[in-house]
Structure formats: C-alpha cells, structure tokens
Amino acid sequence: MQKKFKQGKKLAKFIIRGAKKLKGELKINGAKNAALPIIAACLLVKGEVQLKRIPDISDVKVMINLLEALGAKIETFQDEMIINAASVNTAKAPYELVKKIHASFDIAGPLLSRFKEAQVPLPGGCVIGGRAVNLHIDAFRALGASVVLEHGLLKTRAKKIKGNKIYFKKISVGATKNALMAAVLASGTTIIENAALEPEVVDLANFLKQCGSKIYGIGTPEMKIEGVPELHPPIESYKIISDRIEAGTYLLAALITRGEIKINSIDPKFLEALLKNLEAANQKIERGDDSISLKFQNPILPLEVTTMPYPGFPTDLQPLLTTVLTLAKGTSIIEETIFDARFNYIDELRRMGANILVKNKHVLITGVESLTGAPVEAPDIRAGAALVLAALSAQGESEISNIEFIDRGYEQIEKKLNSLGAEIRRI
Ligand code: EPZ
C-alpha cells in the first residue's frame, strides 16, 4: 500500500548535512494514530464535531478526502477541524483513497454500524509486512454481520448489530478500534476481550464516551460497551492526545547527535518502555508532568529489546532505536514481534556504515564509531525517519529520497529539527 503512495506526486528529497549536535525544546503534535480513527468515528456522530490538535500530515489529508468522498462536510483551520457527517449517504469507500493508507480501514466499523453495511477495499500488503484483517472480520461477525471478501473488497452487512462477546486471539490496534466503533450503537452489551491498550485506542474510546457512548474498562484488556441509540458531538472541542512516536523520534534524534532536548506536551507514561531502555543505555532522562528531557551521556550502552503491544516497546520506534544503537559501545539485539517485514531500512543503514546482521525476527547491531553520509531511500514512515536520524549523526552529506513517506506521519520534521540546530534542506 505504502509503495503506491508516491504515484502521481512530485518526488521530494532531504539533503542533510550531518554531525551537528541538536539542542533545544520542542512541542509535540496530536497523534496521527489517534486522529485518524477519531476522524473516522465522526461518521457515527449526529451533528458537527469539533476536533483540536489535528496534525498537519498527509495521512490525515487522505482521511479527510475519504470522508468527503463519502459525503461529509469538513472544514479545517490551523490544527482544528469541524466535521459534519450528516450528509454521508454511501457505505462504499472508494479504492483510490483507501489504498493510500492502512488506517482508512478504520471506516469499516463506523459504516457498518451506521448503514448496517459497508464495502471497503482491503488494505492489502504493505512494506512493513502482511496486514491481515481476520480479527476485524471476527469482530464484525460476532456482532451479527455477515462478511465476504471478494474482488479485493470486504463486504459486510447485518440486519441488526447485536452486542456480543468478542475475544481477540491476538492483540490488534486496528481490530480493537473497529470493534469498538461497530459496537457503540449496537443493541445490547458487547465485551471486547484482549483489547489493545495503546494510548491511541484509549483516546478513541474517550472520544466516543464524550459523544455519549457507554464504554467501561477503557485502557484495560476487557472493555464493556453498552449500546446507545445515537451519538452526539462532544460538548467541547475534542483535543487529540500527543503523538508518543513523534516525541520518541525527537528524543532519539537528540541522542544520536550527542545533544540534549526537552520535549513538551507529552505524558512521559506513554513512553515509559523507551525511557527505561534509554536509561539502561546510560542516558540521562528527566520526566516532568507533561515533558521529557534527555541529555546525551557517553557512551551509549548496547541494549536487548523486543517489540511488544503497549505498554511494551513500540514497533513504531524500532527502526529509530536500531539506528541509534549503530553507535552504541557493544552489540545490541532487537527482536521485532509485531510486523514481519520491518527491517526494510537495514540495507540503507549499512550503506551509511552501520554494522548490522538480520536473522529472521532479530537484528544484531555492533556499534561503530560513526556513520557516513550517503544517498538513501525512505521505505516507509518510521524507517524514513530513522534514516533522517542516521543522516543527522553521519559525517558529511546525505540525500534521502521518497520523503513523502516521512510526510505521512511527521509534521514539518525538517523545520522542527532545524530549530534544534540540524541542517536539512527539502528539495
Ligand atoms: C497500528 O496499525 C498503527 N497504525 C501502526 O502504526 C502500528 O505500528 C501498529 O498499530 C502496532 O502498534 C495506526 O494506528 C494507523 P495491528 P494496525 O492491527 O492497527 C496482525 C505507523 O508507523 N493482525 O495492531 O494495522 C498484523 O498483521 C504505523 O504509525 C492480524 O493478524 O496494527 C500485525 O502483524 C504503521 N489480523 C499485528 O497484528 C488482523 O485482523 C499488529 O497489527 C489485524 C492485525
């Protein structure tokens, strides 16, 4: 899916002059992975929903286009958005938009709930690994819907959405979100067992609660949802939570350049798995009420890290941590357990001088003195950001192509990094 994103776009590149220490403060944006399902959830709400702290990234633009294509009216002003989905009159999502981002599958649950049917193109494979939808299908079926997959489409319909028990045999962020959105207007009670605990899932549940849903056990593995007849807009404009992955990216950017940083507007709890590991790597971390500070300490010690669902170490930070560990004193081991193809950037890091071995789900990283600038290609959002980090630390100049991937998830990454002392040009 991600591979096709660049079609029809003018390709941009970053030219990065490396080996410059980053120093300063940054404010973090609203979270991409919370904003996307919350925008989709507006399909369920009667009236105008006001959202705040929407990140200005291309994945959000695709989600806006998708809702507009279904008939919603959307106005945006700076980081605020007003969505009125009253005029949506189709449950068929257009392939051209859905194929661009995996998160567009988030509309399946709301469409099924609202129209008692939905026709959504399958998200298909993607550069970070297979993206199955079996758990989404299990959830829809449990709620009384029939589901067929044909001609690349998921087609689902139900006479009535009925509350039921949904047990996920594997933790899935996307399936938990779709199950929740499909269940809030169901008749009767739904129990979701083995629900994902990611802060972005919690934010979606909190948004739905503000709209009148009855959801209990938010942030626990078992959520109980008592169906209500309709949802209303939140009384106040709903503010999206901070992007923990963006925050982690900038912390790691400061670390790899041997610098120091204070990240504001971020709850340190969201990043505890990263912060603990950074402390184990000999780094100095200060947790504030709504901020995190990091100061580089020599040396960066090697780590052994396994990616896990929240509150474990996030797969989205795996490429970024691996990149930092290329400069650690010793050998680190990273195990990726969430996606099956998330080492797609390793060859590019090797071209910059990293010493890395890949074996199935593991990478073995032996630290080197420094990386060297090279022309490299961003393979996806987080791997693209990881290459930016490598280039920031590297001796000489790097050219990163395919940066459209990075723009999918990071708002003005070069502007933020340059404000800390980086030298990045977009051409
Ligand atoms: C979300 O993807 C995020 N995307 C991803 O962020 C993140 O990497 C991922 O969760 C894990 O934290 C959004 O929120 C938009 P999953 P999602 O369903 O929902 C398998 C980024 O860079 N699975 O938890 O697609 C699946 O194949 C991104 O911001 C099934 O087997 O993740 C994967 O291996 C990329 N069957 C694993 O579960 C299913 O029905 C986790 O997927 C669904 C998933």
What is the chain's mean pLDDT, rounded? 95
Q: Is the pLDDT of residue 275 over 70?
A: yes
Atom of ligand 1 nearest to the CA of 200: 14
Q: What is the pLDDT of residues 332-364, one digit of tens each?
A: 999 999 998 899 999 999 999 999 999 999 999
- Give the residue whose CA is nearest to atom 19 of ligand 1: 174
pLDDT of 123: 79
Ligand 1 mean position, distance from CA 174 (Å): 6
Average pLDDT value for residue range 172-196: 98
Range from 122-126, 144-148, 387-391 carrying the lowest mean pLDDT: 122-126
* Tokens at 378, concatenated: 């961003």
Is 126 considered catalytic here?
yes
H or E, element range at 254: helix 244-256
pLDDT of 165: 98
Which CATH code fits 32-239? 3.65.10.10
Distances in Å between the alpha carbon of 337 and those of 293, 302, 363, 366?
29, 20, 12, 21
Q: Is the pLDDT of residue 5 over 80?
A: no
- Active-site choice (12, 82, 126, 285): 126
- Give the residue whose CA is nearest to atom 28 of ligand 1: 316
Atom of ligand 1 nearest to the CA of 137: 40
H or E, element range at 256: helix 244-256
Q: Is the pLDDT of residue 202 over 60?
A: yes
pLDDT band at 420 (very low <50, low <70, confident <90, very high): very high
Q: Which runs of consecutive H residues, i.e. helices, occur in 71-193?
A: 95-98, 108-115, 134-142, 173-183
- Which residues line ligand 1 at a C-beta cut-off of 6 Å? 32-33, 36, 102-103, 129-136, 170, 172-175, 200, 315-316, 338-339, 381-382, 409
pLDDT band at 4 (very low <50, low <70, confident <90, very high): very low
Average pLDDT value for residue range 201-207: 98
Q: What is the pLDDT of residues 211-227, one digit of tens each?
A: 999 999 999 999 999 99
- Give the residue whose CA is nearest to atom 14 of ligand 1: 33
* Tokens at 182, concatenated: 């499909």
From 104, 120, 173, 335, give the residue whose CB has the most ligand 1 atoms within 8 Å, as the site to mutate: 173
Global pTM value: 0.96
Atom of ligand 1 nearest to the CA of 173: 24
In whole angstroms, what is the distance from residue 222 CA to residue 242 CA? 24
pLDDT of 104: 87
Share of the chain above pLDDT 70, in %: 97
Q: Which amino acid type is present at position 98?
A: V
pLDDT of 2: 39
Average pLDDT value for residue range 157-185: 98
pLDDT of 115: 97
Place of tokens 């919690």: 202
In whole angstroms, what is the distance from residue 294 CA to residue 130 CA? 35
pLDDT of 116: 97
Same fold for the pair 14-29+242-426 and 32-239? yes
Ligand 1 mean position, distance from CA 133 (Å): 10
pLDDT of 325: 98
Q: Where are the domains of the chain?
A: 14-29+242-426, 32-239
Atom of ligand 1 nearest to the CA of 314: 12
Instruction: Say yes or no: domain 14-29+242-426 is CATH 2.40.70.10.
Output: no
